Every structure is written in structure tokens, then in C-alpha cells.
Amino acid sequence: MTEPGAGRIGGLILAGGQSSRMGRDKALLPIGGMPLIAVLLARMARHCGRVIIAAGDERRAREYRAAIAPALEGGAIAERRVAFALDRYAGCGPLAGLHAGLSELQTGWALVMGSDMPHVSASLLNRMRSAAASSGAAAAVVHAPGQPFHALYRASLAREIAERLERGERRLLALLERPDAVAVAPEPDEAREAFVNLNTPEAYAAYLAEHRDGPAVEYGD
């Protein structure tokens, strides 16, 4: 079942990074027989009208298309709801991916997730959406303190991010320091769910040990 008002925000998965600590592409890690990026896509589709995958380059985009193909071909997620964005500022890290994804989205808000994050906290997301709505035009970013992911960003930030990249700035966390950034403190259970990230072999092994039955995934369309 799709969350109420799901079409009002988009989703953005930042993929295509170096995965240097993991040693292989984190987005393609198998979780219960499914690539992690497919698990995350399914979970985001329950809350987001359209999901953009910032793949970095065309080679990665092809790999990710293949990884999510079973969900699209089986009709679990409508293909029209998924798009890919390629970096316009190659080699500039996650800020370049954020720029590419927000540029593709064009309008509204985006729930931004890292490709190594397997969970979306519905309750935290709903409180973030409420904070964005109550702030009106005054807010550009809604985030948990110190957390640039599982956060909401206005698509209109793409132009400012491009200017930052042109100046050689690459700090994603700098966007959380803006005066129009709104912080929402997560409850302990929300934080435990929302900010799981599988960025090392040890974290991945621990996650698999804790979730032996594989991902509990329901598709929303």
C-alpha cells in the first residue's frame, strides 16, 4: 500500500561511488537474493512518486538497470517511475550525484538516500515531510542532525550546487549548514532503522547475520 501523498515527493538514490572500503559496488551487494539497489528502490517506491538513480556514468547505469530489471519487467514498479541521472561534474563525489539527481527531478522535494542504506524509516520520513510543509518556502533541506542522507532536499537546490561545484566545493555536509536547513531529531528506533549503512565488509556481514530471512519488501505503485 502506497503512503498517502507519495506522489508529492521524489526519491533519489546516490549510487556510482567508489565503494573503496567495501571493495566492490555496494549497490549490487546481494541481500536475500536481491541486489541492494533493488531492495532500496522497492522501499522508496512506497513513499515516492518517482525515483531517480544517480549512477555516475553510463557503465554504472547499465549495471543498475540490469539489477532492477526483474522488478520493472514483473510490473512490481512501473518503469515510468524510475529514471537515471549521470554526473555532469565527473569525479566530484556525492555532491555531483546530488546535483545530477535534483536536476533530473526538476521540481518539488527529494528523499535522498545512499545506495548502501537498505531501510527507509516511514515515521521519520513523515515527520520530515511535516517539517518541510510547515516551513513552506523557508526550508531547502530537512535532515536529521549531522546526517546528509535519509534527508529531504528541494530540487531547486540544483542550481546552487552547480555553482558550488564550479568553485571546486565538494562538501555535501555544507548544505546542512545553510540557514534554511531544518533539523528533525530522530527517535532512537527511527535512527536505528534509517541510518543503517553497509559501507564495509564487516557491516555487510553483520547485517546479513541479523537479517537471515532476507529483505521484507513490499512494492508500491
CATH of the domain at 30: 3.90.550.10
Does the pLDDT at position 209 exceed 80?
yes
CA distances from 141 to 95, 115, 189, 200, 213 (A): 14, 19, 22, 28, 35
Classify residue 220: in a domain, yes or no: no
CA distances from 131 to 54, 146, 155 (A): 26, 17, 17
Q: Which amino acid is at 163?
A: E
C-alpha 195/C-alpha 35 separation (Å) is: 19
End-to-end CA distance of the chain: 8
Does the pLDDT at position 18 exceed 80?
no
| Amino acid 83: pLDDT | 95
Classify residue 135: in a domain, yes or no: yes
What b/e string do you get for 180-219 counting C-beta neighbours within 10 Å, with b at 16 or more?
ebbebebeeebbebbbbbbbeeebbeebeeeeeeebebeb
Residue 1 — very low, low, confident or very high, per pLDDT cuts 50/70/90?
very low
Classify residue 217: in a domain, yes or no: no
Give the DSSP per-residue string, 163-193. HHHHTT---GGGGGGSTTEEE-PPPHHHHHH
Does the pLDDT at position 2 exceed 90?
no
Q: Are 184 and 8 in contact (CB under 8 A)?
A: no
Contacts of 43 (CB under 8 A, 6+ apart): 118, 119, 120, 217
Region 6-22: what's the mean pLDDT?
A: 81
C-alpha 184/C-alpha 105 separation (Å) is: 24
Region 134-153: what's the mean pLDDT?
A: 94
Classify residue 87: in a domain, yes or no: yes
**What residue spans of the chain are helical by DSSP H?**
36-45, 58-73, 94-105, 122-135, 158-166, 188-194, 201-210
State what percent of residues in the chain have pLDDT above 90. Answer: 78
Classify residue 175: in a domain, yes or no: yes
C-alpha 100/C-alpha 104 separation (Å) is: 6
**pLDDT, mean over the chain:** 90
Classify residue 216: in a domain, yes or no: no
| Amino acid 93: pLDDT | 93
Residue 71 — very low, low, confident or very high, per pLDDT cuts 50/70/90?
confident
CA distances from 201 to 21, 36, 63, 208, 214 (A): 8, 14, 21, 11, 17
| Amino acid 16: pLDDT | 75
| Amino acid 215: pLDDT | 60
C-alpha 10/C-alpha 47 separation (Å) is: 8
Classify residue 219: in a domain, yes or no: no
Residue 3 — very low, low, confident or very high, per pLDDT cuts 50/70/90?
very low
Does the pLDDT at position 211 exceed 90?
no
pTM, entire model: 0.91
Classify residue 88: in a domain, yes or no: yes
Instruction: Residue 109: give the domain boundaries.
Output: 6-210
Q: How many structural domains compose the chain? A: 1
Region 88-101: what's the mean pLDDT?
A: 95
